[in-house]
Amino acid sequence: MEASDKTRIMKAVDALFDEEVAFLAELTSHPSTRGNEQSAQDFIAGELYARGYEVDRWQVKVEDIRDMPGFSPVIGNYEDAVNVVGTRRASSGGASLILNGHVDVVPEGPLDMWDTPPFEPRIDDGWMYGRGAGDMKAGIASNLFALDALRDCGLAPAGDVFFQSVVEEECTGNGALACLQRGYRADAALIPEPFDEMLASAQLGVIWFQVHLRGMPTHVAYAGEGANAIEAAIPIIAALREMEERWNGAEHRHSAYEHVHHPLNLNIGKIEGGDWASSVPAWCVLDLRMGIFPGQDIESCKAEIETVIHEAAQKNAFLRNSLPDVIYHGFHAEGYALGEDGSDRAKRAISALEAAHDGVNGTGLKQVSLTATTDARFFGLYADTPALVYGPVSEAIHGFNERVELESMRRVTQATALFIANWCGLERL
C-alpha cells in the first residue's frame, strides 16, 4: 500500500463518518434480542444489496450443524434464527478475509433502570447509548464502512471478502458455526468486538448449564416435614463457588492468564422455583455459567461440575435420594488462544493489524486476554483460520446505559480499512 493510498483511505473514512453514525443509530434501534433479529438482518441485507454485494440470507437449522465441532446444544428451535453474508469477489488473487460481527444483543432488563429507552439510541458527549451499540453493532458498522471507504477511493480488496452478520453469538455461537457449514472460508477473520482497541490474544471457553432440584411440598404450617427445593440450592451454589476457586488456582492456569486476577467466573444467572408463597417449594431451577481456560477439556469439566453438585446433594436428606439433574444448553465453548499453534499465517495477520493500528494511532497495538468468549474460536479451532478480535471502546455492555465511543469507532474503522489493504492487498476499480 502506497503512503498516498493510506492517507486517502483514512480521509475517506472521515468523509463517510456521519453516514456511519447514522447507520449505527438505525441498526441499534432494532431490538435484536434472541429470536428477534430478523428486522436488523433485513436492514443489513438491504444495505449490502445496495452496495452490489452477493447476498446470502438463510435460516440456521440445527440439523445442519449439530454434528459439527463446536456445536452448542439448544433448547427450542431456530425458526427465527437468520444469518446474512455479503460477498465481494476479487480478481487479483490476494489473501481472503472474513469480516464477522453478531447482530444479536442481550436482553435489556428493567426499562426503568435505563436513563433513556435502550432501543432509542442517543448521542451525548461523543458516545452513542443503546443496547447493542457497543456489543457489537459499532463493529458491524466499522466493517461495512471500512469497505465503503476503500470503494470511495477507487480501491477494492485484492482478495475475496465475506461480510458476515450472524445471530446466536450471545448464547451459543451457532450462527458463526452455520457460516462454516455453509462453506464460507478465508485466510483470516476479523471480529470487531468492543475491547478497547486491543487485540484479544486469548479468550476463555464457556459452559452454560442448568441444575434442576426437587423438594417435598407441604403446607407452610408443617414446613419442617417438607424439603425446600429453593433452599437446597444454597449449598449447591456454595460447592460450585469452591470449585470456581480451585479452577482459578495458579497450578491450573493457562499461560495467557498468569497475571489476570480471577479469570474464571461462575455466574448464577437465573433462578426459578416454587408455586405458592404458603407451600414449601417442590422444584427449583438454576441457570449457571462457568468459564474454562484454553486447552481445558469440556467433557472433563462437565464431569467435575456434576461430581461437585452430586456430592453437595448427598448432604441433603431429601436430595441424596433424589439427585439433581444437570442439563446443558447454550454455550458449550472451548477457549482459544490466537497464534498458539505458531502458524505463519497468524503471525502475518497480527503484523498486518499491528501496522494498521499504528498507522491510525501512532502507537503499538496492545494485547489482552479476554475473560469472556467470542466467535473467534470457530475460525481458529475448527477452520484453520487466525481470528483477530479488535474493536472500539465501549462501556456497560450487557448492562444499563450501554454506550460506544464514536471517535473510537472512527479509529477502528480506519484501522480496519488499512488492515484490509495490508492483508488482502488492493486492486483499482
Identify the pLDDT of residue 34: 93
**Both 38 and 65 in a single domain?**
yes
136 cis-preceded (ω within 30 degrees of 0): yes
Domain end: 290, 313, 333, which one? Answer: 333
**Both 271 and 178 in a single domain?**
no
Using alpha carbons only, give the angle 207, 57, 390 rounded to the nearest 5 degrees: 50
Domain end: 269, 298, 333, which one? Answer: 333
> 124 lies in which domain range?
3-203+335-428
CATH code, domain carrying 262: 3.30.70.360
Beta bridge partners of 286: 211, 271
| E strand or H helix that includes residue 68 | none
Identify the pLDDT of residue 341: 72
**Both 42 and 137 in a single domain?**
yes
**Both 327 and 393 in a single domain?**
no
- Positive or negative torsion for Cα 237, 242, 244, 245: positive
**Both 219 and 235 in a single domain?**
yes
**Both 51 and 125 in a single domain?**
yes
**End-to-end alpha carbon distance in the chain:** 15
Beta bridge partners of 163: 86, 99
| E strand or H helix that includes residue 273 | strand 266-273
- Print pLDDT tens along the chain (429 aa): 788 899 999 999 999 999 999 999 999 999 999 999 999 999 999 999 999 999 999 999 999 999 999 999 987 778 899 999 999 999 888 999 999 999 999 999 999 999 999 999 999 999 999 999 999 999 999 999 999 999 999 999 999 999 999 999 999 999 999 999 999 999 999 999 999 999 999 999 999 999 999 999 899 888 888 899 999 999 999 999 999 999 999 999 999 999 999 999 999 999 999 999 999 999 999 999 999 999 999 999 999 999 999 999 999 888 999 999 999 999 999 999 998 877 899 999 999 999 999 999 999 999 999 999 999 999 999 999 999 999 999 999 999 999 999 999 999 999 999 999 999 999 999
**Both 135 and 190 in a single domain?**
yes
Identify the pLDDT of residue 125: 98
Are 220 and 278 within 8 A, CB to CB? yes
Closest CA to 282 of 234, 320, 226, 209: 226
**Both 36 and 174 in a single domain?**
yes
Identify the pLDDT of residue 146: 98
Tell me the backbone φ, ψ of residue 6, rounded to 5 degrees: -60, -45
**Both 151 and 209 in a single domain?**
no
Cα distance between residue 199 and residue 376, in whole Å: 12
**Both 41 and 118 in a single domain?**
yes
Q: Where are the alpha helices (DSSP H) in 129-173?
A: 138-152
Q: How many domains does the chain have?
A: 2
- Which tens digit of pLDDT belongs to each residue from 97-150? 999 999 999 999 999 999 999 999 999 999 999 999 999 999 999 999 999 999
**Both 37 and 169 in a single domain?**
yes
Are 164 and 100 within 8 A, CB to CB? yes
Closest CA to 133 of 145, 123, 146, 125: 123
Query: pTM of the predicted model, to two decimals?
Result: 0.95
**Both 213 and 185 in a single domain?**
no
Angle at which helices 3-28 and 344-361 cross, to 10°: 90
Cα distance between residue 353 and residue 347, in whole Å: 10
CATH code, domain carrying 109: 3.40.630.10
Domain end: 307, 333, 359, which one? Answer: 333
Identify the pLDDT of residue 375: 98
Centroid of chain to Cα 177: 12
Identify the pLDDT of residue 339: 80
